[in-house]
Structure 1
């Protein structure tokens, strides 16, 4: 059985989706069971000559510059949406209305109301949805989840998370759509903070309340045409105090203006018997401290991911040889194929991702209301 694939967008994320769709059967076909084989049917971007050139490069049968034609094309069964944030909502709704499964990059939408509409539409139409939180598929992260479930660090008491990058640290970086609420929505919260919240949920479970503050570090930026400076309408950084449903407390720090940080997405989770530490900049490592044995011999242990941390072994038979960002996208793609085949629920679906969106918008609401506690 074939599954017709349509991808909207050919930038960085569009290319990662194309690579995942092309490679998923070759890498993970042996462990996926009876799933459909992806058929790269249609690629969309503008202008058309760019779409045609990249369709040939990526291995797609056809190209178009009309996304509405793609989502209604009878050869397309599943749509990858990799466009800027402001287009996710209408593209996803159109694809769902046409009965297509949807793989959408995060954040889901510009507003919470739009995200809720997307989730409701997907439930009503019965299509499979997946949101691009590929860091959740990292074998190091899933091993941390298994360790915690097995009681390796005891009862969880605190989560400390951070996500820092420097792609907006330079005050002379030109103003762009990322600075505009109508096109980007939230700033650092929507772009990278969502990933951190996905980690918090994946490790600790639901968040029940929070208190937050936000900061726009560079309030204006030079306009690209040199005519002056444009106002930055969203946040560069945020700090959050959390409470989880399991009774634990937590904190999050988020910045897109942290010089020297490239993808510093990570956490410490503290338990009554030890601690687990992860950092995406060292994505093939996990650190664990356990309060066991002679005190003189206790210390942090570094676990290098390898074939004993599935599905690492499907990519490489040797530990310590490292997986990369695009490999996580392949794992994510395999999960989507299994969900479409009915073998397992898609995670995070639009419903799962909506819970993440509610958290980031609650952070913004708390900050705008002087650090008020917001229940969730």
Structure 2
């Protein structure tokens, strides 16, 4: 296309989320008619052979077994970081130093100091710094946000947040990377960040927490499990609302469940990620004998659903949310208003997680961002 503007993309890591980013970069321009068209320039994996294989599969022009080659490539303008969590900080800092925009998967980092360093580097660089929280892009979540802002349920006074999966539910499963301390706290930074990103968007920041963590299986294959698969917390939100949070990576039968209930002075909104194309709302106004929850089914009226399919009931999926997120990252790069979790908000979410871990250790309420 004559005069079309392109942006060079680098990708580090090609696992589940790496492939998700690649699919999003390939689909975002034709789906959302973005002002910038991604050009897949350079891909990095753990070794050259795998990198070349993935580059061929995903459509990248070049491949490398060294991630620094991607960061230093002058044709790369934005770097997708989908490597293991402990590597996020080093990669993001290098990318900012090289003048690149960054789209990094959550969590920011496995330590509070690293997350803070990433935020400071993002500020100093002047580049776009986005985190991979694609659940906030869901058209159903967007409509919930619009309804809450419009006062559909009145003043929010309480929230309940849950995230459950069963990939660590089997007590006979072997020891895995996510059982080790190098991966982070466990369910808190692996899971809790997602419902927290939603409550940040829908209601507002968390100011203080008291939390507990448990290990349902203290050891695997004779090795001590160093992370916690289950965590619970009480929350105090800015503005006066209270909240509860429960996360569990060992919840038999649960598959990617993020459940929210938001209670207000005039009604309630509920959502479950296992039924991601709908939400429920109760409003106190109306005939008492017909009182009850209504189900709102996402459709083309809820942007950008209609960019994917022209009719309600056909449903969007996880990868579609990533395409929407890629479009928001491009909007931010172009200087337009964008719906992203930037490194400022991302650090606040990370500070909440670290406050929960500290609360568990000290057995008391901890203010978010409170220094030792």
Specify the TM-score bucket, using the shorter chain as the normaliser.
Answer: over 0.9
Alignment of 1:1-376 (within 5 A): 1-29=5-33, 32=34, 35-182=35-182, 184-222=183-221, 229-345=222-338, 347-370=340-363, 372-376=364-368
Greater shift, 161-170 or 199-208, is seen at: 199-208
Q: CA deviation at 1:216?
A: 1.3
Structure 1 runs of 4+ aligned residues shifted over 4 Å read none
> Could you say what the CA RMSD is over the residues aligned between the two structures, in angstroms?
0.9
Preserved CA contact (<8 Å) 2:11 2:42: yes
Deviations 1:30-80 (A, max 9, x none): xx4xx3211000111122111111111111111111101110011111000
What secondary structure sits across from 1:288 in the alignment? Answer: strand
Give distance in 1, aligned partners of 2:153 and 2:357.
32
- The answer to whether the 8 A contact 1:129-1:346 is kept is no
Q: Note if contact 1:128-1:346 (Cα within 8 Å) is conserved in structure 2.
A: no
Whole-Å separation in 2 of the counterparts to 1:354 and 1:84:
18
Once residues 142 and 210 of structure 1 are traced to their aligned partners in structure 2, the CA distance between those partners, rounded to angstroms, is 26
Please tell me whether the aligned partners of residues 241 and 250 of structure 1 are also in contact (alpha carbons under 8 angstroms). Answer: yes
SS at match of 1:168: coil
Deviation sequence 1:227-261 (CA, Å, 0-9, x none):
xx211111111111111111111100011011100
Say whether the 8 Å CA contact 1:96–1:125 is kept in structure 2.
yes
Structure 1 segments unaligned to the other structure (5+ residues): 223-228
The 10-residue stretch of structure 1 (196-205 or 115-124) with the greater mean CA deviation from structure 2: 196-205
Aligned with 2:80: secondary structure?
Answer: strand
Q: Distance in 1 between matches of 2:295 and 2:102?
A: 37
Deviation at 1:345, TM superposition (A): 4.6
Count of residue correspondences: 364
Query: Alignment partner of 1:145: what SS?
Result: helix
**Deviations 1:170-208, CA, capped at 9 Å, x for gaps:** 1111112111122x1111111111101111211220111
TM-score normalised according to structure 1 size: 0.95
Which runs of no fewer than 5 residues in structure 2 stay unpaired? none
Aligned to 1:225: none
